[in-house]
Amino acid sequence: MNHFGGKGIKLLAAFTIPVLGMIFYLFSIGALMNITMLHWLFALLAATAIALFMGNLVDRFSRSAADAQEQNLQLKSLFAASELFAFSLNPQEVLNQSLDIIRETLGFDFADIWLLEGENSLRLAASNLPPIFGVSDTYPADRCLPGLALSSGEGVFIEEPQTDKRIEDKAWLNQLKYRSAAALPLIHQGEKLGVLIVGSLKKYKFTAERRELLQTFVNQLSLHIKNAMLYREVQQQAILDEVTGLYNHRHLNEYLDKEVKRVDREGGHVSLLMLDLNYFKDYNDLYGHPAGDMLLREFGEVLRDSVRETDVAVRYGGDEFAVILPQTDVLGAAQLSARVLEQLSKHRFPGFEKIAGGALTVSVGSSTYPEPAKSKVELIRLADQQLYRMKEVSREARKISS
């Protein structure tokens, strides 16, 4: 009976009812009068009633089974999301796996997670759209579905994208072939973080239950995104120097460990520059520590602008700075050292007209792994030794000029 289906049973009953009506008519005019026919008539009537009842029962059972299956998938998706959000500390991993949950258990073919950058721009943080579609990494925050969701602060559900007047630009619909789509803003305690876009290649009915499920999922996702942002801020604070904004001594050691292992594994070089501000103590004594901090901050900005994007500028401690130079040999380190000194000499640091030499000068030392330095510790030590040799030369020059 399940194979035949509730619709089939109802069709059989629908065919039987007119036949019964005809038989009753013939019976009423006396055309059919024998008792056997009357018995057969009532049997057929009973069978029709049973068929109608069974048809409704099968339909109800089928709907209940489908609803139970969908509810099971919904609970599974929420459990998977809760487990993911609770135990993963990797923000990008969470975003990527969220897309898998959306596709596998919520029934959508594609999904994008966009995060706000400033007030007017969205950055694509995760997507399971094939590269062939060529989705841009940025999108205006006030356009199309994302704009509708962010401006209203509520989910936007589109069951007929081609005819829905809320979507003015339908070019992307034609490209992606969406037959249903939705946009839900990612909001945590009133703060707009971004938007989730989901799309289906087949007709998708956004029932009240499905909308509630999507909203519950988005609420969890928003909370985790905010927590990930806070976690990243704490991580950044732990490795940044609060005075200059450069990386600190701790990060230098961690980064050098990674670079030394990379060289051991893949070959190549890593070099290190150590820099020290000459006569910084004199500057501090003359102008005070707040002025000294301002000088260090300004020096850090100039140093950061003087090195390459792949280099890592660090405040090593006090008036000492360092620059990690990945994939750089001895000659490359010497060239970059000269470049940094040239850029620093072009910048006029205020207050040094009353200090020896009349301008800020810097002593620099460098070393390279795996030659001449044989370890991370030796890399730092050799660069530091060269730095202090240069500093001694500077002091001797000061004595001679005096």
Quick one: which H or E segment has residue 24? helix 6-28
Lowest mean pLDDT among 38-47, 279-288, 330-339: 38-47
Q: Are 284 and 359 in contact (CB under 8 A)?
A: no
Residue 179: pLDDT band (50, 70, 90) is: confident
Q: Which of 38-47, 112-121, 153-162, 219-228 has the lowest mean pLDDT?
A: 38-47
CATH level 2 (architecture), domain 90-237: 2-Layer Sandwich (3.30)
**Exposed, middle or buried by CB within 10 Å (0-12, 13-18, 19+), for 205?**
exposed
Residue 287 banded pLDDT, cuts 50, 70, 90: very high
Which span out of 30-39, 142-151, 185-194 was modeled with the highest average pLDDT? 185-194
**pLDDT of 144 above 90:** no
pLDDT at position 55:
54
User: 362 with 276: CB under 8 angstroms?
Assistant: yes
pLDDT at 272 over 90: yes
pTM of the model: 0.58
Give the start-end residues of each E strand in 288-394.
Answer: 312-317, 320-326, 362-369
- Predicted local distance difference test score (pLDDT) of residue 194: 95
Calpha distance 310→270 (Å, rounded): 12
- From the list 276, 311, 319, 384, the catalytic residue is 319
Residue 399 pLDDT: 39
Residue 13: the pLDDT is 47
367 pairs with which residues across the strands? 272
pLDDT at 100 over 50: yes
In this prediction, residues 117-126 reach a mean pLDDT of 90
372: amino acid identity, one letter: P
Yes or no: say if 125 and 115 are a contact pair by the CB < 8 Å rule. yes
Read off the pLDDT band of 14 (50, 70, 90): low
Lowest mean pLDDT among 171-180, 185-194, 308-317: 171-180
Coil/strand/helix, residue 139: strand
Whether 319 sits among the annotated catalytic residues: the reply is yes
- Partners of 156 in the beta sheet? 183
pLDDT for 68: 55
Q: What is residue 180's predicted lDDT score, i.e. its pLDDT?
A: 87
Residue 378: enclosing H or E segment and its boundaries?
helix 376-401
Of the candidate CATH numbers 3.20.20.80, 1.10.760.10, 3.30.70.270, 1.20.210.10, the domain formed by 249-401 belongs to 3.30.70.270
| pLDDT the model gives residue 33 | 47
The reported pLDDT for the residue numbered 384 is 94
Q: What is the pLDDT of residue 106?
A: 77
Quick one: average pLDDT of 204-233?
85
More confident residue, 394 or 353: 353
Choose the weakest-confidence range: 57-61, 107-111, 246-250.
Answer: 57-61
Please give the pLDDT value at position 6: 47
Average pLDDT over residues 286-307: 94
Supply the pLDDT for residue 221: 86
Is residue 181 classed as helix, strand or coil in its secondary structure? Answer: strand
Share of the chain above pLDDT 90, in %: 43
**CA contacts within 13 A on the Cβ side of 316:** 16
- How does the average pLDDT of the chain come out, rounded? 80
